[in-house]
A = this chain, B = another copy of it.
Amino acid sequence: MNFEQLGHIIRERRNELSYSQEVLSDKSDVAIKTIHSIELGKANPSLKTLDKVLGVLGLELIVVSKKD
């Protein structure tokens, strides 16, 4: 789970819901600037920020054993 992958997942889900970044920003109470940085993989968000964004998208983080 690197930052680029995470950004793609968020962007794809956002597009599925037909939300603009601005709408997602409003719903999640996270700045649009932060959202597009996350989507581009250029951010290192805190868990709280990431949870707010994922929550609006019906997604969540879980911890699993790493398979290598």
Residues of chain B within 8 A (CB-CB) of A3 are 47
Residues of chain B within 8 A (CB-CB) of A60 are 1, 63-66
B62, A61: Cβ atoms closer than 8 Å = yes
* Complex CA distance for A62 and B46, rounded to whole angstroms: 15
* Complex CA distance for A61 and B9, rounded to whole angstroms: 13
Q: Does A35 contact B (CB under 8 A)?
A: no
Q: List 21 A-B contacts (CB under 8 A).
A: A1-B51, A1-B60, A1-B61, A1-B62, A3-B47, A6-B47, A9-B63, A45-B46, A45-B47, A46-B46, A47-B47, A47-B50, A54-B63, A58-B65, A59-B63, A59-B64, A59-B65, A60-B64, A60-B65, A60-B66, A61-B64
